[in-house]
A and B are shown apart, each in its own frame.
Chain A
Amino acid sequence: MSNPVFERIQADITENPVVLYMKGTAMFPQCGFSARVVQILMHMGVKFKGVNVLEDPGIRDGIKQFTNWPTIPQLYVKGEFVGGCDIVTEMFQSGELETLLTEKGVEVKPAVS
């Protein structure tokens, strides 16, 4: 497999504990589904690398093929695909997301309520 886009994706998800493939940036999401996942990660105090697929058509198509998943956003934790907006939202609400992140050694610092 020598697909340069796949190699870049593989490098990103290997080198960064939490990677979110999204439309827009964490500061300025360009899509409501991406915005919701950003909001959840920020609420949990999780540091993540955001990859703006709108800036790179190669990644935009490539990540869909790489994950075999037709939509954006896509969340990766420690190199593993977790899900898109619905799955991340459900896992956040049930507490599973915090459990997963903690088990994977990712620091979670929820805002004090």
Chain B
Amino acid sequence: MTGQRAARIRQALEAALAPATVAVVDDSARHAGHAGNPDGAGETHYTVHAVSPRFAGQGRVARQRLVHDALAAEFATGLHALTLKLETPEESGASAGARG
């Protein structure tokens, strides 16, 4: 089941980052019973891999802040954990086994 939050995350990141690629994976079920998702039904835990030229010249903290800012509304409504892999197109091309 693809949740609504995953779709909103994708839309928000596409609008904010103009990414070359963005992949959103819902990990919530793997965290059932953990903090933030006690009954396993929540849309709480996600992994995002985004490739965007906007990350160029930005450090790791600055890159994640761009994503956090774009997703502020989601954090305010129960998004609990976000695992982020954020690359420029150049870095993505250079890294072995780049995923889309």
Contacts and interface: CB of A to CB of B under 8 A. Distances in A.
A91 B81 contact: no
Contacts of B72: 70
B18 to A, nearest CB: 22
Interface residues of A, number: 18
Interface of B: 34-35, 60-61, 64-65, 68, 72, 75, 80-85
Given A70-B68, A71-B80, 5 more contacts: A23-B35, A70-B82, A82-B61, A83-B61, A87-B61
25 contacts: A23-B35, A31-B35, A32-B34, A33-B81, A68-B65, A69-B64, A69-B65, A69-B68, A70-B68, A70-B82, A71-B80, A71-B82, A81-B61, A83-B61, A83-B64, A84-B64, A85-B83, A86-B64, A86-B83, A86-B85, A87-B60, A87-B61, A87-B64, A90-B60, A91-B60
